[in-house]
Every structure is written in C-alpha cells, then in structure tokens.
Amino acid sequence: MNRYLLLPLAVVAAAVAAQTTGCGTPSVELGTVNGTVLIDGELVDSGTVTFSPVVEGPTASGRVRSDGSYALQVGQGDINNPDASRVPAGEYIVTVVVNAPSTETLGEGGPPLPGPRITAEKYASADTSDLKRTVEPGANVFAFELQRAEPAATEDQAPDGESPDGEGADEQPGEPEAAAGETEAGPEASSPEADPTEADATEAKEAEGNS
C-alpha cells in the first residue's frame, strides 16, 4: 500500500509546493527588489536608491543600510516586513545618492546639513542616470557598482572631454551642480515619503508633454 500511495502523494505535495513558490500573485505582476551599492569596489554605508518607472507607475525607493544593502518599497511598503515589500514589474531608471557623513550643524540648532555627495553627479537624476533595470515578477537582486564623485574630474569621467589643464579653475562644470545638489538632496534625505510627490511630478511632466 505504501508504494501505491507514495507517488500520488508526492505529486500532490509538489503541486502544493509549486503554488507557494512565487513571491507575487500572478494576476498583479509584482516583485521584490533588493541589492547592494558599491563605490569603487567598496560597499557604501548610507544613501538612497530610487527606482523611477520608465513608463508609468509608482516610484519605489529604499535606504541603504550600513552593510551596503537596500530593499525597495513603494510608499510605506509592507510595514510588517519591509524587505518583502513589492514593486510593480517593469522597466525603471535608477538613481542613487550617497552623501558623506555630515560634519557641520546649522547655527540655530536645525538639522545637520547633509555631507557632500560622494556618488558621481549623473546618478542623482533620472535624466542623467545611465542605470536602467527591469524588475521581473518574483525576487530581484540588483547590485550597483558606481563611480565616485571626483573632486577633480578624472580622464574617465570628464563629461565633455575637457582637457585636464583647467585644474584649479573655479568654473568647473561640476561645481554649480554640487551646490544645487544641497537643495536637491535635502527633502529626499529628510522624508522617505518624497516618492509620491516625485511620481506626481513625473505624471505632471507627461501630462504637459501630451497637451
């Protein structure tokens, strides 16, 4: 009797197991996204990773932990298990900002200013970021190996092929951007709920484009 029972039982068990393997429900195409951020081969210990949908949908983001890992969530995500938060499958442009630890505080006892950005400028904006990833239903892992923001542009990064003769010149193309980055990074760093507004902004932009 054992022999006759075992096969059908195994088939049933396998079928049950198969149903529970997926992370997302098949009708809504969702996936979990986590991964790692490195600069020049070293794990970073802070920062923010943002996935902006290429077509439409919510923006997902996640903070980078001290071990260099991040996990994405949309809005509040899954409160009980943030790492299991799910993100719609699809194509995304990825922006990453990592700031050095803050060293100064505002005189009036305000919040500390963010430290200088240590990721290359291009990763900060969806318009300039060359990081694109496709989120598949199920579990996704994306590691990002980024270039450092160099105080003086290196040969590899000089955006306009400028000769290195301009060293020490004040009007380096990167400088005004770095200053602007302070305001840009401010709201992002202080409120994790910045995403919906960003999504709104994207939609607004699209609406403008259509009219």
Partner 1 sequence: MNRKHAHALLVGLLATPLVGCGGPFDARVKGQVSLDGQPLTVGTVTFAPASSGPSAFAKIDDSGNYELSVGRQRGLPSGQYTVTVVAREKTTVQRTDGGPPPPGKLITPPWYKSTNDSGLSFTVEPGSNSIDLDLNTTPPANWRGGRPGRR
Residues that bind partner 1 (CB under 8 A): 1-2, 5-6, 9-10, 12-14, 16-17, 20-21, 23, 32, 34-36, 38, 40-43, 66-71, 83-84, 100, 103, 116-118, 139, 141-143, 148-151, 154-155, 175, 178-179, 182
Specify the 3-state DSSP secondary structure of 153. coil
For residue 13, the minimal CB distance to partner 1 (Å) is 4
Task: Show the CA angle centred on residue 28, arms to residues 23 and 30, nearest 5°.
Answer: 45
Q: Print burial letters for 176-196: b (CB count within 10 Å at least 16), e (below 16).
A: ebeeebeebbeebbeeeebbe
Q: Of 92, 90, 91, 89, which is closest to residue 25 (Cα–Cα)? A: 89
12 or 201: CB nearest partner 1: 12
172 or 202: CB nearest partner 1: 172
Whole-angstrom distance, CA of residue 31 vs CA of residue 57:
14
Helix residue spans in the chain (DSSP H): 2-21, 174-190, 194-210
73 or 129: CB nearest partner 1: 73
For residue 48, the minimal CB distance to partner 1 (Å) is 16
For residue 93, the minimal CB distance to partner 1 (Å) is 19
21 or 210: CB nearest partner 1: 21
For residue 31, the minimal CB distance to partner 1 (Å) is 10
Backbone torsions φ then ψ of 168, nearest 5 degrees: 85, -15
